[in-house]
Structure 1
Amino acid sequence: MSDQHQKQGFSTRAIHAGYEPDPQTGAVNVPIYASSTFAQDGVGGLRDGFEYARTGNPTRRALEANMAALEGGTYGRAFSSGMAATDALLRSQLRPGDHLVIPNDAYGGTFRLIDKVFTQWGIDYSVAAVNDVDAVRAAMTDKTKLVWVETPTNPLLNIGDIEAVASAAHDGGAKLVVDNTFASSYLQQPLSLGADIVLHSTTKYLGGHSDVVGGVLVTDSEQVDSDVAFLQNGAGAVPGPFDVYLTLRGIKTLAVRMDRHSDNAEQIVEYLGKHPKIEKVLYPGLDGHPGHAAAAKQMKRYGGMVSVLVKGGAQGARDLCAGTKVFTLAESLGGIESLIEHPAAMTHASTAGSLLEVPDNLVRLSVGIEDVDDLIADLDRALG
């Protein structure tokens, strides 16, 4: 991150970091460089370092610089999806015989990749509650190379104290990875709290409009960045320039969107907390949430994700999901529109029968930026 951007506020960085208006045309938006290759001034004479679009693209470079600035980091690397970023990070940092610690309620896709693929390569893992630092320490071994944390977690919205978990990881000789997707860069800055690597599915709040898939990694470590960059180029799971453009467009309004997401979520939490058909509301902004103190310490606000346990078991959860009209029944999250889903049968079906299995009466809400009165009325109708 440049000295100039270090002194700027978040929204200013979100809009300007990574790109200056084109000196030739004055274009204020990043151009979409739809070129697979770049002319060279003689053999090896690269123009601004560009040779082939898998290796580097000017539009992608703008996103990578922008994300590094937003996370207060030095290096950013963009990928074609959040899972592609996850895969590149794991392959760059782990070798056969290594061990990592993951949350006991991690995102189903992360768990599936580690459990079904990386274990075949001789990688071992343990699970631990992210809100229990002692449990994280106990799960580590002398072969642990990474501690993987989501905070808030997906879908139970548990909170890990990043500073405390970073200390535990570093004491054991491991690096701390924080999946910052649920919080977004606006609400939480893991690198400043001791994390070594930050991961985002840019599909979610960063893109913000449910129209693009992507992922990004940010770090201050030159070695980690070098390792990741090798796989970014060598394996080639890079985003196309139009996808990058859409992500950058979304980032420009991240701060105002996250405030609206949070505003709406807080009112919906208040409504659901009083509803007789709701067994429990899971939201880190609640005083009674076990991670509330940690969230208050490290988050600007508590975000737009809300999970609930519905009375009536799995059928009660399915009925709620089927009954909404404004909330769309769909996977994913973080868009301007509100979404509802049944994790046990949808995003977290891969965890069935494992230590990460989620309750069958759990419903996850991604609260959008619609008029909150309409969202509450929709839930009220669905709950009967």
Structure 2
Amino acid sequence: MSAVLEVSHLGKAYRDFGGEWRRVLSWFGLPLRPREEHWTLRDVSFALQPGEAVGIAGQNGAGKSTLLKIIAGTLRPSEGGVAVRGRVAAILELGMGFHPELTGRQNAYHAAGLMGHSPGQIDAEIDAIEAFAEIGEYFDQPVRTYSSGMQMRVAFAVATAHRPDILIIDEALSVGDAYFQHKSFARIREFQRQGSSLLIVSHDRGAIQAICDRAILLDQGRVIQDGNPETVMDFYNALIAQKENSKVEQSFLDDGRARTVSGTGEASILDVALLDGSDAPVEFVNVGQKLKLKITAQANADLPELVVGYMIKDRLGQPVFGTNTHHLDRPLAAVPQGARVESIFHFAANLGEGAYSIAVALHASPVHITRNYEWRDLALVFKVINIDQTPFVGVAWLPPALENSVER
């Protein structure tokens, strides 16, 4: 099956030639060196298959938006090339291409026209665009009166009025209300089932892991990881927390999944154990069973504060529940070098059937990003099975009380 998108050794440089005439002369091939040169992308290569969803992640300034603009054709590369097979629909910068003095309806006609739709096609689509956007009478009001969420509604409705071969979204769905986000993701999934491919830039780990088959991590304009979304996003999470003298390492478990460990090493995790009521280690857990998570750590330096935390994740790596000793108002202060720390968290496994993993963290302050001593993904894995509870579906066990009545 041939790829719908091929990106080959793509690069983008912004150059300062010290004057417009020197810049213009450089266009005609004169060997003029720029005074300054800044590369936002360098040697980026990947392919996108029909029906595949790929998430693009990276810190601010990593080159994500530049990459999507080049693929969408709104920016020229400095080197390399892009081959696109099929129709592309893109939602890049919010409100991009919208005129603030025109109404939503007028902007919809204009944007759809730029996408190659004929006036007749737009006439046939406009009622569906208005209905999907759900902004009521504002559809015939100037866009300058819109909130960012309303702009996103119209932009998404226009971009997806026809199923594209490739849909490109740059952070737009992070704006607006939860209702429209769910509605938008439902349309994206339907397009995927019909064969559309997706490129999405998002800082939302959950969104990338929920809908993407693959993730690409950019750092300083280069691809540093391309693979399983959970593995890539774990590495990205560690990269965000990385500070001077910190480490980021990945190793592979027997099942092929990658474990990411990061931190300064000022404290280290010695052992993580999931125990039942008799303190026996467990790998298979009954729905609702009472458990203990025992985390043993060691201080490798004098620590003004030590916070111990954990995160339960589902099989896709999405967070199910997490907390730490800071949020539980039980922080550890002034921990001396060489001290051994043991934290035991008691909880019931009110979880649905399936495979889960636990990530463990040692840090200072409420979250690990500020001062991360050690963060360990896939510290352990376990499976939840339903032995004696009423059958149910979902990731959480929330058994209800039920009252029925019938009036005749």
Greater RCO between the two (CA within 8 Å, min separation 6)?
1
Q: Which has the higher helix share?
A: 1
Which protein is bigger by CA-based radius of gyration?
2
Q: Which has the higher strand share?
A: 2
